[in-house]
A = this chain, B = another copy of it.
Amino acid sequence: MPVNRQVTMAVRPVGEPKLTDFGIVDAQAPSPGPGQVLVKTLWLSLDPYMRGRMSEAKSYARSLQPGDVIVGGTVGQVEASNNNAFKPGDIVLGYAGWQGYYVTDGSDLRKIDPADAPIQSHLGALGMPGMTAYTGLLNIGQPKAGETVVVAAATGAVGALVGQIAKIRGARAVGIAGGPEKCKFLIDELGFDAAVDHRDPEMKAKLKAACPDGIDVYFENVGGAVWDAVFPLLNDFARIPLCGLIAHYNDTAVPEGPDRLPGLMRQALTKRLTLRGFIVSDFAADGPAFQRDMSQWIREGRIRYREDIVEGLDKAPEAFIGLLRGKNFGKLLVKVA
């Protein structure tokens, strides 16, 4: 039996996760029982939502307990199968988590045709991050031609797609990212209309200059200082799809005042704002439309994406800590095998 390397949450992180919060365990790979499939992990997706799973706070999914293998979307290869729907060699999208092997009854698996697109793209542009961008922007943001769409973490797996889909819909795309290299990439490679470096001390003024007609859609996936810069620029009837708050995932206490809640409510009223939180599964019905549109846009070269690849499960904790700090440049993936 091969060794099944697993990365666990050894200790529940307090604030920013530390390397010592993670554990490396070498278990025996499991054997598939009746109806089950053994899948070998090839690619693991690292995504900010995983920080939420490490927290005890009530959320839309259950919390990890100390010792648990960390959850995550994966692309793998079927090694052995007692399930007629799968045969050894099949490439499958699944949810193995941070480990080299897992067994499943197959209900969470979707077969992938490697001829269609690089298999790991099903963890990025053609997968959950892509569908998050597509469904949140189109269902909640509803950008119209000529409107201004702002997205933060704009070179990230979701943000990069939000801006490009906004462009396809005829809107102006303004991206916020960390550092001049990422900002240049947004404009030169992804076709954003403007980019603002959130590390720039003049960020607020530069965002204002980049949005001369205000902001109609703010795709919120970070919170924190970016929110403060965006908020005064929102136009009447602006829409705010909210799918992440990476700036707050490591918060350990209620922030000090002043209390900005009444100000938000007052602006929401006078400007008639719409704020709506969502996760990708809320729009599961849009899956076929997303697959059709995104595949076509990638084929036509209208959507481009960048991957940031780390080799080996052992590197996943460090890479994940970097993701929460914005160190990744593109969709963060672990090449597991």
Contacts and interface: CB of A to CB of B under 8 A. Distances in A.
Given A259-B256, A259-B257, A245 B272 contact: no
A59 interface: yes
Residue of A255, A265, A272 with highest tally of chain B CB at under 10 A: A265
A272 B241 CA distance: 10
Contacts of A242: 265, 268-269
Given A261-B259, A262-B248, A264-B264, A273 B272 contact: no
A255 B248 contact: no
A218 to B, nearest CB: 12
Interface string A279-291: 1001000000000
Contact of A272 (B254, B263, B277): B277
Interface residues on A, range: 35 or more
Contacts of A236: 60
Contact of A269 (B243, B257, B266): B243
A90 to B, nearest CB: 34
A260 interface: yes
26 contacts: A57-B270, A59-B270, A60-B271, A60-B272, A223-B262, A223-B265, A227-B265, A242-B265, A243-B269, A245-B265, A245-B269, A254-B258, A254-B260, A254-B262, A254-B263, A255-B258, A256-B257, A256-B259, A258-B259, A259-B261, A269-B277, A269-B279, A272-B276, A272-B277, A272-B279, A273-B277
Interface of A: 52, 57-60, 220, 223, 227, 236, 242-245, 248, 251, 254-279, 282
Given A254-B259, A255-B262, A265-B277, 20 more contacts: A52-B270, A60-B271, A245-B269, A248-B265, A254-B257, A254-B262, A254-B263, A256-B257, A256-B258, A257-B258, A259-B261, A264-B264, A267-B277, A268-B275, A268-B277, A269-B277, A269-B279, A270-B277, A274-B274, A274-B276
